[in-house]
């Protein structure tokens, strides 16, 4: 497109420092909720990640429905999102 810059809003600077960029192929960040072993493996990677807080914030703010983000499952993030939205409502 001439005269227009296309910006990909899904690319964020913190992602470049994420630990999940270099993990073995046997680690899945989108396991089924029944696959507890895979969830534990993904969360272990997140626990050592220098940008896990940014990752979790992004997932909550964008309401990511699937995957392990910032060391949290979708169910855990839904609870955190509800709390976050309550705080936003109280502040306004």
Residue 12: inside a domain:
no
Residue 53: which domain range? Answer: 26-91
Helix (H, G, I), strand (E, B) or coil at 92: coil
Task: Let me know if residue 69 belongs to a domain.
Answer: yes
Predicted TM-score (pTM) of this structure: 0.80
- Number of domains the chain contains: 1
Q: What is the pLDDT of residues 32-52, one digit of tens each?
A: 999 999 999 999 999 999 999
Q: Closest Cα to residue 69, out of 80, 81, 79, 57?
A: 57
Q: Provide the pLDDT confidence category of residue 12 given band limits of 50, 70 and 90.
A: confident
The answer as to whether 43 is a domain residue is: yes
Examine residue 8 and state whether it is found in any structural domain, yes or no: no
On whether residue 60 sits in a domain, the answer given is: yes
């Amino acid at each position: 497109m001439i005269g227009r810059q296309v910006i990909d809003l899904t690319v964020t600077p913190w992602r470049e420092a994420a630990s999940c960029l270099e993990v073995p192929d046997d680690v899945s960040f989108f396991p089924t909720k029944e696959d507890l072993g895979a969830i534990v493996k993904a969360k272990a990677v997140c626990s050592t990640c220098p940008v896990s807080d940014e990752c979790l914030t992004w997932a909550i703010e964008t309401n990511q429905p699937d995957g392990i983000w910032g060391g949290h499952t979708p169910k855990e993030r839904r609870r955190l999102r509800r709390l976050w939205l309550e705080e936003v409502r109280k502040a306004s």
